Amino acid sequence: MADRTTPAGDRAAPAEPPASSEAYDAVVSRLERVVGDLEAGGLSLEASIEKFAEGVKLAHEATRKLDEAERRIEMLVRNADGSQDEVPFDPDASKGP
């Protein structure tokens, strides 16, 4: 996808859809760049809307990847007899009381 120059003269980075095989860290890194661009200001309204839309897509992708990781963790919990129980992911469980 080619770079575009907005009517205000600023260059909008290409809005690439997140690749489904892209690692979570890469998606979050891209999202951080988008947020940084928006926070820095200086973009035209059109470019800001495009950046915002890209950020929403990246946030959804990151959420999907976290949900997928949570499901994988639940699937990996097995009993001593080899049976498998579905155990909800609890990030505070490893911290102890």
Question: Is residue 72 domain-resident?
Answer: yes
d(CA 50, CA 44): 10
Residue type, 17: P
Question: Is residue 74 domain-resident?
Answer: yes
pLDDT value for 38: 96
Q: What is the pTM of this model?
A: 0.60
Is residue 89's pLDDT more than 60? yes
Tally of domains within the chain:
1
d(CA 50, CA 87): 40
Tokens describing residue 42: 């200086």
pLDDT value for 51: 97
pLDDT value for 8: 45
Q: Which helix (H) or strand (E) holds 52?
A: helix 45-76
Question: Is residue 69 domain-resident?
Answer: yes
pLDDT in tens, 24-71: 999 999 999 999 999 999 999 999 999 999 999 999 999 999 998 887
Domain extent at residue 79:
44-83
Per cent of the chain over pLDDT 90 is 45
